[in-house]
């Protein structure tokens, strides 16, 4: 996607119905990791169901630039890995577009190689904080030229990283993953200590690729340790449906009268389903069907039916398991009777946009009572959603999709100022939503 793409405004109309059985694209977190771990392994990694969205394609281009060809044949992606510490100096800067996950995890991948990599991104990504990842990597022996802590920056890796014990100051799967990935190259064991559990895809997939990883509880904390100088082997990976993408269809089914949607083959890892737990608490009918496991990850079909929604308090401890779903949850809360309070959302201020402020602004523009209270978001619903407003998305794909969902239940159409960035995570969003009953109008 061009970083200066022309904005594409879209208006969404109230839906008469929202129903169907569908599949969402592959999970973004697992798609990124499958490509990177394939690069760090020896031999060939074959990936089925890879999310072919801009963020992930940029990661595929990045591993190729580091000497690990990644290409698609039919429905199958293949990565030819070079092993831990075997990456090569890229010929030019690597552009990560809009992807914070791709950037931060790749910093951990690069750190253990004797190469210098200039990392760039679009205007939105260039504003996002990188210090939280770079500080522990620097402690291990990587260097950031000019001590630059936002993109563009140049990271100098080292073949002689030292193992560390690192306690994450804020819950972040990206920080944890970057340190563990760097730890694969270190001479000894690297440990990350978490106060709150975060998504554990890195640990699960590294085990599947042959890394030695242990997880133990230490009081109220969790310690994850990886053994360094690891040798990973190429694997076959099946990427399950992305629960964060499925959340938009689930939310629509919860608010449109008679809504009934089944989303097949979705990842239901316990660290990723806080949104669905919250929907159940609000009164939506949520069922996990046909539960199974593939590649070390739990998968199920998720059926969501409309219910009488009520406001709830969402505890801060749930935030890491649904951090990307708060904008769409706030839109659902607009249709719930009473007040919904969502606590512990400091992380939302440093996403693709300040999602906390932007979500509240979008709700208020459409006649919903909403406010920010410190690190909390408070939404009062139950009187219907007037709609009729225009939402500023700030180049944020999840903001765009969340407010298109809001419009499906509002009295007047809702306009979103730009859907260009939806392609970063969910290129088929409009097609799938339309098939279930949504009506979008290009402006």
| Residues in the chain where the model's pLDDT stays below 50 | 1-3
Q: Which two tokens stand for residue 387?
A: 């709609």
pLDDT at res. 348: 82
Q: Pick the catalytic residue from 324, 396, 417, 418.
A: 324
The answer to whether the beta carbons of residues 141 and 160 sit under 8 Å apart is yes
Calpha distance 183→279 (Å, rounded): 38
Can 324 be counted among the known catalytic residues?
yes
Angstrom distances, CA of residue 173 to CA of 6, 201, 269, 285? 33, 9, 14, 30
Measured between alpha carbons, how far is residue 69 from residues 59, 75, 124, 260 in Å? 12, 17, 28, 42
Residues 127 and 351 sit within 8 Å (Cβ to Cβ): no
- Spatial CA neighbour of 271 closest among 243, 312, 292, 296: 243
Residues 6+ apart with CB under 8 A from 131: 149
- Per CATH, which fold does 28-238 belong to? UDP-n-acetylglucosamine1-carboxyvinyl-transferase; Chain (3.65.10)
Instruction: Give the pLDDT of residue 320.
Output: 83
Residues 411, 267: Cα–Cα separation, whole Å: 33
Going by C-alpha positions, the residue among 202, 153, 170 that lies closest to residue 27 is: 202
Looking at the chain, which residues constitute the CATH 3.65.10.10 domain(s)?
10-26+240-442, 28-238
Q: What is the DSSP secondary structure assignment for residue 186, as one 8-state letter?
A: S
Enumerate helices (H) and strands (E) in the chain, giving the number of each. 12, 25
Question: φ and ψ at 281, to 5 degrees?
Answer: -60, -30
Q: Do 125 and 106 meet the contact criterion of CB atoms below 8 Å apart?
A: no
pLDDT at 2: 40
Give domain 10-26+240-442's CATH number out of 3.20.10.10, 3.65.10.10, 3.30.559.10, 3.50.50.60: 3.65.10.10
What would the two tokens of residue 338 be?
């009473």
Q: How many residues does the chain have?
A: 443
CB 391 within 8 A of CB 399: yes
pLDDT of residue 353: 65
C-beta neighbour count of 285 within 10 angstroms: 15
Question: Cβ atoms within 10 A of the Cβ of 74, count?
Answer: 6
């Amino acid at each position: 996607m061009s970083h200066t793409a022309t904005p594409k405004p879209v208006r969404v109309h109230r839906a008469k119905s929202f129903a169907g059985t569908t599949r969402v694209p592959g999970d973004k977190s697992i798609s990124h990791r499958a490509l990177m771990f394939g690069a760090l392994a020896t031999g060939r990694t074959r990936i089925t169901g890879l999310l072919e969205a801009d963020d992930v394609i940029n990661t595929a281009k990045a591993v190729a630039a580091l000497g690990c060809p990644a290409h698609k044949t039919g429905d199958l992606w293949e990565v030819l890995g070079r092993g831990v510490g075997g990456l090569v100096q890229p010929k030019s800067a690597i552009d990560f577009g809009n992807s914070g996950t791709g950037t931060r995890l790749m910093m951990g991948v690069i750190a253990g190689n004797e190469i210098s990599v200039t990392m760039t991104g679009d205007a939105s990504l260039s504003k996002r904080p990188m210090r939280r990842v770079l500080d522990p990597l620097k402690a291990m022996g990587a260097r950031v030229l000019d001590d630059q802590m936002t993109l563009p920056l140049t990271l100098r890796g080292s073949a002689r990283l030292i193992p560390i014990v690192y306690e994450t100051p804020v819950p972040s799967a990206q920080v944890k993953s970057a340190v563990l990935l760097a730890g694969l190259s270190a001479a000894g064991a690297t440990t990350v200590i978490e106060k709150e559990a975060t998504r554990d895809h890195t640990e699960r997939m590294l085990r599947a690729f042959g890394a030695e990883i242990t997880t133990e509880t230490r009081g109220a904390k969790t310690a994850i340790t990886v053994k360094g100088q690891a040798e990973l082997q190429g694997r076959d990976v099946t990427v399950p449906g992305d629960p964060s993408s499925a959340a938009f269809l689930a939310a629509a089914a919860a608010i449109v009268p008679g809504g009934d949607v089944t989303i097949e083959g979705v990842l239901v890892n316990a660290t990723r389903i806080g949104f669905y737990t919250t929907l159940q608490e609000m009164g939506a009918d949520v069922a996990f069907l046909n539960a199974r496991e593939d590649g070390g990850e739990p998968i199920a079909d998720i059926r969501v039916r409309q219910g009488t929604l009520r406001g709830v308090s969402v505890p801060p401890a749930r935030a890491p398991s649904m951090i990307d779903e708060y904008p769409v949850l706030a839109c659902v809360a607009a249709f719930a009777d009473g007040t919904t309070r969502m606590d512990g959302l400091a992380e939302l201020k440093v996403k693709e946009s300040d999602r906390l402020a932007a979500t509240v602004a979008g709700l208020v523009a459409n006649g919903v009572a909403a406010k920010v209270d410190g690190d909390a978001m408070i939404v009062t619903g139950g009187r219907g959603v007037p709609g009729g407003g225009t939402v500023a998305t700030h180049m944020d794909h999840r903001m765009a999709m969340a407010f298109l969902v809001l419009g499906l239940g509002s009295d007047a159409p809702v306009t979103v100022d730009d859907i260009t960035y939806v392609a970063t995570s969910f290129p088929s969003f409009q097609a799938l939503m339309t098939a279930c009953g949504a009506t979008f109008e290009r402006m």
